[in-house]
Amino acid sequence: MAALTEEQTLIKDQAISWASAEAPVSKFRAMRNEGNEGGFAEPTWSAMVEMGWTGILVPEEYGGSDLGYLTFGLVLEELGKQLAASPLFASAYVGATALLLAGTDTQKLSHLPRIVDGSEIVTLAVDEGPRHAPARTALEAKSQGDKHVLTGSKTLVLEGMSATHFIVVARSAGKAGEAQGLSLFIVPADAAGLSRRPMKTMDSRGYAELSFDGVEVSDADLMGPVGQAGEVLDEILDRARAGIGAEMLGVGSQAFAMTLDYLKTRKQFGAVIGSFQALGHRAAELFAAMELARSCGEAALQEIDAQSNSVAKACSLSKAKVGDFLHTMSNQLIQIHGGIGMTDEFDAGLYLKRARVLETLYGNQSYHRDRYARLLGF
C-alpha cells in the first residue's frame, strides 16, 4: 500500500468497514438473484452518495471534496473486494473526470453538483464494436448550423440503463480509424431519437447498448472544440483505466485472500493442502504477481494526482499488469478450490466473471501492451 495521508487512511478505513458490513458480496449475490436490470441496489448507491464518495474528484466549488484519484482508487479497491455494485465508478469517477477535463464552465456547473448529490448519473459512451478502439469511432456527428445530428450506436455503456446523461464520443470529421476528427457531446438520456437496450453480461452489472437515430444536439452540448477531442478523450480514458486498475486490485486481492484461506484449511491426504510444495510455490508466485501489480496500480493513480507527463504510460502499465495478475488469480481461485469453485453457490465464480469484464473494459492487456510499446516508440 502506498504511503497514505491521514485523510486517505480515514476514507480507506471507512470503505473497508462500510463495504464489509453494508455491501458484502452476499448483497451483490442477492441483487443478481433478483434479476435487477439496473445492476445495482438503490440503497447501496444512496449510502455511497451520503458518505460523499461521489464528490471525491469534484472541486469544492461544485460541492465535492477534491481528494484526488488515489483516494478514489482506495474506495474502488475496497468495493471491488466485495463486488459492491453501483454507478459510483461510471458517474462520479469517469463522468466527473470527463466533465472536469473537457467540460465548459456551464456544463460543469450544471452537472457536477448533481453527480455529487446523486440526482444525475453521467456515463461515458465510447465503444462501438467488439474491441476497445476509440479511434475507430464511427458514430457520426453531422454539423447543421449550430446543431449536430448524431447517428450511430454504442455498446457496453456502463450503467447505461440508469444513466440520466451520456457523454458520447462522436466523429465530426474523417474516417473510422483516424485519431483526428472526434468530438464529445453530453446528451440527456431522454433525447429524441436516442434509444437504449439492456445488455445482460456475465458479471450481472448494468450495461446498455445505445442507438442514435438522428439525435439533435446543440453547440451548448459540445464539450471542447468540435473535432478535436482525441487528446482529451485519451486523458479521460487513462483515468478510467487507472480506476479499473484499482477495482481489479480489489477483486484480485480478495480472490487471493480466499485462496490462501482455503490452502490453510482444506485437508487432503491427511494434511492441509497448503503444505504441499506445488501449491505453496503457486501461492508464492501469485503473491509476488499481486505485489508487483499493486505497485503498478497505485503508481498510475499517483501519477494522475501529480499531473506528471507519464500518465499514459503509467495507466497502460496498470491496466496490463493488474489485468494479467487478475486473469491468472481468478483462474487459480477456481482451480485451487477445485469442485466447490465450480458451484454457483460458492462466490469464486462471481469474482471470475467480474474479472473478465474488468479486463476487457477500456482495453484489455494486449491493447495496453501494444499501446505501451507505441508510447516508447517501437
x/- binding map, residues 339-368, to other proteins, per CB under 8 A? ---------------------------x--
Listed in sequence order, the residues at least 6 apart from 203 whose beta carbon sits closer than 8 Å to its beta carbon are 350, 353, 354, 356, 357
For 344, the grid coordinates are 454457483
Q: What angle do CA 156, 331, 124 make, to 5 degrees?
A: 15
Q: Does 110 bind other proteins (CB under 8 A)?
A: no
Q: Does 51 bind other proteins (CB under 8 A)?
A: no
Q: Which is nearer to other proteins, 148 or 313 (CB)?
A: 313
- Per CB under 8 A, the segment of 21-29, 121-129, 204-212, 369-377 that binds other proteins is 369-377
Q: What angle do CA 122, 127, 131 make, to 5 degrees?
A: 150
For 356, the grid coordinates are 473478465
Q: Which is nearer to other proteins, 353 or 368 (CB)?
A: 368
Q: Does 215 bind other proteins (CB under 8 A)?
A: no
Q: Which is nearer to other proteins, 114 or 319 (CB)?
A: 319
Q: Does 269 bind other proteins (CB under 8 A)?
A: no
Q: Binding-site residue total for other proteins (CB under 8 A)?
A: 39
Q: Give the Cβ contact number of residue 357 at 10 Å.
A: 17
Strand ranges (E), the chain:
122-125, 140-144, 147-158, 165-171, 182-188, 194-199, 207-218, 222-223, 267-268, 271-272
- Per CB under 8 A, the segment of 19-27, 73-81, 232-240, 274-282 that binds other proteins is 274-282
Bridge partners for 124 per DSSP: 167
Q: Does 283 bind other proteins (CB under 8 A)?
A: yes
d(CA 75, CA 206): 20
d(CA 340, CA 346): 7
Q: Which of 218, 280, 335, 340 binds other proteins (CB under 8 A)?
A: 280
d(CA 119, CA 128): 27
d(CA 308, CA 348): 38
- Buried b / exposed e along 151-165 (16+ C-beta atoms within 10 A): bbebbbbbbbbbbbb
Under 8 Å between Cβ of 163 and 157: yes
For 256, the grid coordinates are 487471493
Q: Which is nearer to other proteins, 134 or 274 (CB)?
A: 274
Q: Does 378 bind other proteins (CB under 8 A)?
A: yes
Q: Does 277 bind other proteins (CB under 8 A)?
A: yes
Q: Which of 222, 320, 334, 355 binds other proteins (CB under 8 A)?
A: 320
Q: Which is nearer to other proteins, 111 or 368 (CB)?
A: 368
Q: Does 272 bind other proteins (CB under 8 A)?
A: yes
Q: Does 33 bind other proteins (CB under 8 A)?
A: no
Three-class secondary structure of residue 167 per DSSP: strand
Q: Which is nearer to other proteins, 42 or 285 (CB)?
A: 285
What is the smallest separation between the CB atom of 216 and other proteins, expressed in angstroms? 38
Q: Does 10 bind other proteins (CB under 8 A)?
A: no
What is the smallest separation between the CB atom of 6 and other proteins, expressed in angstroms? 14
Listed in sequence order, the residues at least 6 apart from 292 whose beta carbon sits closer than 8 Å to its beta carbon are 321, 325
Q: Does 284 bind other proteins (CB under 8 A)?
A: yes
Q: Does 295 bind other proteins (CB under 8 A)?
A: yes
Q: Does 321 bind other proteins (CB under 8 A)?
A: yes
Interacting residues with other proteins (CB under 8 A) = 1-3, 260, 263-264, 271-272, 274-277, 280-281, 283-285, 287-288, 291-296, 298-299, 317, 320-321, 366, 369-370, 372-374, 376-378
